[in-house]
């Protein structure tokens, strides 16, 4: 999956260099990324951090200014409030550092289960399976799980996948979901795992 997505330049591969080793950037990127394409999130983040490069500056930012800078992301008005409040919380409650505990992360505005797991996996190096729309969809299409919500998918995948491979699941499925196993009209004929896929068998073989 990963090599196929790499060949097709999945947008997710462009993020690493921007947020790597920077927990605060990772936090803000993750909040802004909900229901927004990676390219639009990246563009908004670059503009935002040019003007407000750290938590202290963003915490005292004017909301309208932030809205203007992140205009390209979905729900930008709500997210402008979230990122300012998130920055403020990092400064006031966590001493300027993004916390590395799940229970503390989910207290931050705009941070739910998926974002907390993304941060714990990619920023703090824990074994986690963040489940977004791609991971949820592809796991169900493959027939690995039969679940209705991302949270159910996360728990089902944790039972199914050996812990040593958890780190690979999100990266591979997000990249594959952006390039081959698209939400609508997945490119099943070009898919190298189609012979193992329940969705493919149901649509094309039965």
The answer to whether residue 191 forms part of the interface with ligand SF4 (CB under 6 A) is yes
Residues 100 and 124 sit within 8 Å (Cβ to Cβ): yes
CB of 205 to ligand SF4, least distance (A): 11
The answer to whether residue 188 forms part of the interface with ligand SF4 (CB under 6 A) is yes
Listed ranges 37-45, 61-69, 112-120, 193-201: which one lies at the site for ligand SF4 (CB under 6 A): 193-201
CB of 122 to ligand SF4, least distance (A): 23
Q: Which of 43, 106, 142, 161 binds ligand SF4 (CB under 6 A)?
A: 142
Listed ranges 37-45, 84-92, 114-122, 194-202: which one lies at the site for ligand SF4 (CB under 6 A): 194-202
Listed ranges 94-102, 105-113, 115-123, 185-193: which one lies at the site for ligand SF4 (CB under 6 A): 185-193
Q: Which residues bind ligand SF4 (CB under 6 A)?
A: 138, 141-142, 180-181, 186-188, 191, 193-194, 197, 199-200
């Amino acid at each position: 999956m990963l090599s196929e997505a790499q060949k097709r330049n999945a947008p997710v591969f462009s993020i690493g260099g921007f947020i790597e080793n920077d927990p605060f950037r990772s936090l803000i990127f993750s909040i802004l990324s909900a229901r927004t394409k990676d390219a639009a999130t990246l563009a908004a983040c670059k503009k935002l951090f040019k003007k407000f490069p750290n938590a202290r500056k963003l915490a005292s930012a004017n909301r309208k200014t932030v809205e203007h800078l992140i205009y390209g992301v979905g729900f930008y008005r709500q997210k402008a409030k979230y990122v300012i409040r998130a920055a403020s919380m990092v400064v006031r409650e966590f001493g300027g550092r993004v916390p590395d505990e799940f229970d503390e992360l989910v207290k931050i505005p705009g941070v739910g289960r998926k974002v907390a797991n993304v941060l714990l996996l990619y920023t703090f190096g824990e074994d986690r399976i963040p489940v977004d729309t791609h991971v949820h969809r592809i796991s169900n299409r493959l027939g690995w799980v039969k679940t209705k919500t991302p949270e159910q998918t996360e728990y089902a995948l944790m039972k199914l996948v050996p812990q040593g491979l958890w780190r690979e699941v999100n990266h591979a499925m997000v990249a594959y979901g952006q390039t081959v196993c698209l939400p609508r009209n997945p490119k099943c004929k070009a898919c190298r795992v189609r012979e193992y896929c329940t969705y493919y068998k149901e649509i094309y073989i039965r």
